[in-house]
Amino acid sequence: MSQKKPEKLIDEKDIRYDGRKLNELRPVKIEVGILGNADGSAYIEQGKNRILAAVYGPREIHPKHQALPDRAALRCRYHMAPFSVQERKSPAPSRREVEISKVMREALEPSVFTEYYPRTAIDLFVEVLQADGGTRCAGITVASLALADAGIPMRDLVSACAAGKVEGRIVLDLNDVEDKYSDGADMPMAYMPNLNAITLLQMDGMLTAEEFEQALNLGVEGCKQISQIQKDAVRAKYVTAKETAPEKEEDEGDKEANE
Amino acid sequence: MPIFHERRQLVTPGDLLAENDYMSGENTYKENGKIYATRVGLFDHDEKRIFVVALKSFYLPMVGDTIIGKVQEVTLGGWIVNIRAPYVAMLRASDALERPVRPQRDDLPALFDVGDMMIAKIVACDRTRDPLLTVLERGLGKVTRGQTLEITPTKIPRVIGKKGSMITAIKNETGCQVIIGQNGRIVVSGKTPEDERLAIMAIRMIEQEAHTTGLTDRVTEMLRKEKGEKPVKEVTENVAKET
């Protein structure tokens, strides 16, 4: 899987080098509740990104001095597997990973009712198995689902998505190549669709005020699309629960459903 | 006063459930006159309240709950007990002995040792302190026999059933004693391991099919079927062993 810079990232017909339109997301596939030993978990494939998230808690906090008297401490670890990128990455947390852990925590914390569980910890682990740009956004999306799967009360699901500028055009959901080889901009954002609130907004590169607004609106649209996929993923886990809900008595056969 | 979902419809956190005149019930919150869900669950409502029956949650200690705990540590003045909640509970020696405690003389591990299970009641619990337990009431104390199993605490009401119908059915059909802790731990003790196995099977079945109706009848039916088949199976197995 060697990476070369394509001649052109966007062709004359406004098609990107991987075949997407300017405002098109990469294909997203999400599964909820796939780890037996975690309290909540989820897995996402977004383009070539593959990310696992696991949630434990709320549980007793260790070390004790990290406990907050008025709310739960949300502890987040974003980590990339050594084999997740082209050149082996050292498994030790890098400066970048520590930073992303912090931003992810801050993007998710507004969605969680941490004040319900003072003096406890909610531990969140996001493991990137394969990276292809936009992992922090996919990480937030999947982490939010893992929190919901753990049965932790939340104000809203958080969905995240990037928008940016590639060869002078505003595009949605940049992948690694587009991010690396264009001198444009990359703007990841996280969004709570039902509350219409942005919980993360970062940018590197340069955008004019108009471009910024355009990118922001495009990004929010992307987040809304992802939000729908998130909800479908949660439903898929409980689909039998929903179908057997009506008052009728059911035969055996549709036993599975939730655990 | 609009409602945006049908009863028993699956909702996810953040889903707008209703507006205005309703009160926000379990697993929901109200903001600017709008009620949203906080957990994945099944939507439901009555005349006044909007609520969500969570599909998965964890136990939160409440004063007065009877729970089944596991001793995690024995300290000088009492025990630290795991109650399957975000907080560990304390059982003080004075809440286990009906007389003044003499730390040097009383042998606390003889009462409860690490790993022992106990049926206890929560006597105090708030935001600032860890829950306190007592075992001094009738029906409380050490679990001396039987098997324990764990289920999601949200499904406890289903295991008990309307006016205890489900639990009575299990008890009658299997002849087991079944003690249910509010924290999702259940102790099953019967005359034979086979009886216990049946009771556990029934509880697992309830857990799996908690959302369906007519479950009590189906559980009874399943137990009767299992009981009917079992002797036949055992006989054939024994024959196979002997030959």
Greater confidence, B233 or A109? A109
Both tokens assigned to A146: 């893992």
Facing A238 at nearest CB: one of B10, B29, B213: B10
Give the sheet arrangement for strand B41-45, strand by strand.
B10-11, B41-45, B49-54, B23-24
How many other C-beta atoms are found inside a 10 Å radius of the C-beta of residue B238?
Answer: 10
What per-residue confidence (pLDDT) applies to B98?
A: 84
pTM confidence score: 0.88
The pLDDT value recorded for residue B7 is 87
- Contact status, residue B9 vs residue A238, Cβ threshold 8 Å: no
Does A241 contact B at CB distance below 8 Å? yes
**CB contact at 8 A, B33 and B1:** no
Contact B36, A155 (CB under 8 A): yes
On whether the CB atoms of residues A108 and A44 are closer than 8 A, the answer is: no
Best B57, B82, B130, B211 residue to mutate vs chain A (most A CBs within 10 Å): B211
Report the residue of B10, B51, B60 to disrupt the A interface, i.e. the one with the largest count of A CBs within 10 Å.
Answer: B10
From the number of C-beta atoms within 10 Å of its C-beta (0-12, 13-18, 19+), residue B3 rates as middle
Is A26 in contact with A182 (CB distance < 8 Å)? Answer: no
Q: B20's torsion region: left (phi>0), alpha (psi -120 to 50) or beta?
A: left
Residue B240 has pLDDT above 70, yes or no: no
- Collapsing DSSP states into helix, strand and coil, what is residue B152? coil
Phi then psi dihedrals of residue B181, to 5 deg? -90, 145
Indicate the average pLDDT of chain A. 90
Cβ neighbours of residue B99 closer than 8 Å, sequence gap 6 or more: none
- pLDDT(A199) > 80: yes
Cβ–Cβ contact A251 with B under 8 A: no
For residue range B59-85, list pLDDT tens digits in order. 999 999 999 999 999 998 899 999 999
Window A:35-94, CB contacts with B under 8 Å: 39-40, 57-60, 69, 72
CB < 8 Å to A256, chain B: 208
B230 confidence band (pLDDT: 50, 70, 90): low
Task: State pLDDT tens for residues B1-42.
Answer: 688 888 889 999 999 999 878 999 999 999 999 999 999 999
Task: Give residue ranges of B with CB < 8 Å to any A CB.
Answer: 8-10, 12-16, 27, 29, 36, 38-40, 42, 54-58, 60, 86-88, 127-128, 152, 207-209, 211-214, 218
What pLDDT shows up at residue A246?
43
pLDDT at B100: 83
- The alpha carbon of B242 is separated from its chain's Cα centroid by a whole number of angstroms, namely 42
Q: Which of B28, B212, B220 to mutate to test the interface with A (most CBs of A within 10 A)?
A: B212
Look up residue B130 and give its two tokens: 């860890």
Q: What is the pLDDT of residue A256?
A: 35
| Closest alpha carbon to B41 in A55, A232, A117, A148 | A148
Q: Do B36 and A156 touch (CB under 8 A)?
A: yes
Are A157 and A180 in contact by the 8 Å Cβ rule? The answer is: no
Note whether A232 contacts B: Cβ–Cβ < 8 A: no
Give how far B209 is from chain A: nearest CA, Å.
6
- Which residues of B fall within a CB distance of 8 Å from A193? 14
